[in-house]
Amino acid sequence: MKSFIAASGVIKIDRYYEKNLKTLAREALESIEKSYAEDLVPDTLIISSMTPELVDYQSSIADLIADHLGLRKIRVYRVEAGEASGLAAVQLAYSLTTSKASKRVLVIGVDKGSEMSVSRMAGVYGSIKDSEYMQLQGITPLAEAAILAKLYMKKYNYSYEDLFIWPYTMHQNSLETSHAQLRFRISPDSYKDSPVLAEPLRLLDSYPLGDGAAALYIVSEDAIERSSDAIVSIEGFGGSVDSKDIASREDPLLFRSVRESWEEALSMAGIERRKIKYIEIHDNYTPNAFIILESMGLAERGEAPERLENSSIEGVHVNLSGGLKARGNPWGATGIYQIHEVFQALLGSFKSSILGEIEYGAVHNMNGTGDSSYVIILKRVR
Amino acid sequence: MLRRSPAKIWRSRDILYRLKYATCKSCGKAFYPPRARCVYCGSQDVEYRYSSGRGVVKEYTILYQTPSGFGDLSPLIIGLVELEEGFSMLAQIVDVEPDKITPGMRVEAVLRRLVVDGSTGLIYYGIKFAPAEGMR
Ligand SMILES: [Zn+2]
């Protein structure tokens, strides 16, 4: 049994002071309805969201949104796996549709990352770490990434300027991404002039706080509409974890959760890595991007900054959307945006001038500093 | 923003105030905070101990974008500290100017204020690291 993505839709990631979680979710659904010829008749709704309790005093988000969307006779779930909630939700949709528990699943990722002041949102994001340890010390994933950057630069002999290639490339990529939060070029000077958040990392090494909503319509094999001229299947997935803090890892410059989820997904899809021509990775902080690529084996350890050329590494195009730095990172919605991008690329309607026709694409979605990772491999089958 | 029940802090006292850690009898490695299984080899044969609080700074950062509640102490110096019992942990480094910190610097645990709960006024304390005696 396989599971198929029938349609996807997103809204532009932005600061929407005038819109709540329900409105954002509805707009993502409307974006699907605009592009999909058939009626949407989901029997299951999965909401992927990281922070409704902390940001909106809202628990029980799934039935609330179902009600707001006017959905009845539908089973609802909410998936929360930090920043990686999106891919965790898609993997649940896969399981439901392949086990015949559901036929048509609507997955909506939604979060409001720009609701309060930057320091409040830093605390909300920091809540993904152990509340009896790192949170009480004020230590956030940003601080961990800064320490990783220093370890990485020392071990592999890079200057801070050498790392610039990543944010530079990401901002270049987002210029043509209509749903990206930030669509502007950056220069080496703007990089060095941007404020330091955790030395050596600066504003442009992080991701912008934004609100977003993205939706997928995932169906079982017997629910594929005959009229669909393109079919994309979920060929493989994987997920894994690591120690919550970088201090209790044998080798902090390798994300074990990335390596294990990547290998598991490839093995389930039963393909060689070289078949995959496009991947979106969860580059929440600049050093993490290089560590992710190396943990996937797309570059030797310490070589990712040198191997990256025009957003391509080892024959794979990486983060053509602009990634978390430029497309944005609305937490629970991020993985759904990533799937939308790769799905649309397989259909030939996203970045096709760069990619041409491709058969395979992949998504990597991660929580924190490699705390957990999920990978999904998609294939265009028709 | 930061709201914690007094019971939670009391419950966490061994980790917060006494640096309780775990050591694995199977692979010999130590880790903090303690978990029921070894984070390195997965063995359940772990033993809990208390650290001397003496260690060295392996790496550090100066954190300017601090979560709310930590503003009056900002920026925070966050260190990756390796304790003499062999485990590493993340913690604040205090009583030293950032430009005086060098990897390998010897530090020792001190009890300090971590954060003030804005809604109740409760003050939470915990372990930070200061330059070791003779290094100050
Ligand atoms: Zn062990």
- Residue A107: helix, strand or coil by DSSP? strand
CA separation for the pair A188, A191 (Å, rounded): 5
Quick: pLDDT tens for A117-157. 999 999 999 999 999 999 999 999 999 999 999 999 999 99
Return the higher-pLDDT residue of B6 and A266. Answer: A266
B88 contacts A248? CB cut-off 8 A? yes
Neighbouring residues of A32: CB distance < 8 A, sequence distance ≥ 6? A7, A8, A9, A40, A215, A216, A217
Q: Note the pLDDT of residue B76.
A: 97
Which secondary structure element, helix H or strand E, spans residue B123, and what is its range? strand B123-131
Q: Note the pLDDT of residue B136.
A: 54
Q: Note the pLDDT of residue A230.
A: 78
Give the strand pairing for A3-10 and A211-220.
antiparallel
Nearest by Cα to A376 from A108, A4, A1: A4
Cα B23 to middle of ligand 1, angstroms: 8
Using the Cβ of A131 and the Cβ atoms of chain B, whether some distance falls under 8 Å is answered with yes
B87 contacts A198? CB cut-off 8 A? no
Distance from CA of B89 to the nearest CA of A (A): 5
Cα A145 to middle of ligand 1, angstroms: 26
Q: What is the mean pLDDT of residues B124-129?
A: 94
B59 contacts A151? CB cut-off 8 A? yes
Residues of A in contact with B39 (CB under 8 A): 243, 248-249
Q: Note the pLDDT of residue B20.
A: 97
Residues of B in contact with A120 (CB under 8 A): 1, 67-68
Q: How many CA atoms lie within 13 A of B75 on its CB side?
A: 17
Q: Note the pLDDT of residue B134.
A: 65
Q: Note the pLDDT of residue A189.
A: 85
Using the Cβ of B59 and the Cβ atoms of chain A, whether some distance falls under 8 Å is answered with yes
Residues of A in contact with B66 (CB under 8 A): 119, 122, 138
Which parts of chain A register pLDDT below 70? 229
| Window B:69-108, CB contacts with A under 8 Å | 69-71, 73, 76, 78, 80-81, 87-92
CA separation for the pair A252, A291 (Å, rounded): 9
Q: How confident is the model at residue B72 (pLDDT cuts 50, 70, 90)?
A: confident
Is B55:B84 a contact under the CB 8 Å cutoff? yes
Q: What is the mean pLDDT of residues B91-109?
A: 94
Question: What are all long-range contacts of A309-312, with beta carbons under 8 Å and residues at least 24 apart?
Answer: A310/A169, A311/A169, A311/A172, A311/A173
Using the Cβ of A363 and the Cβ atoms of chain B, whether some distance falls under 8 Å is answered with no
Quick: pLDDT tens for B19-55. 999 999 999 999 999 999 999 999 999 999 999 999 9
Q: Note the pLDDT of residue A175.
A: 97
Q: Which two tokens stand for residue A97?
A: 């549709």
CA separation for the pair A165, B125 (Å, rounded): 41
Q: What is the mean pLDDT of residues B5-24?
A: 92
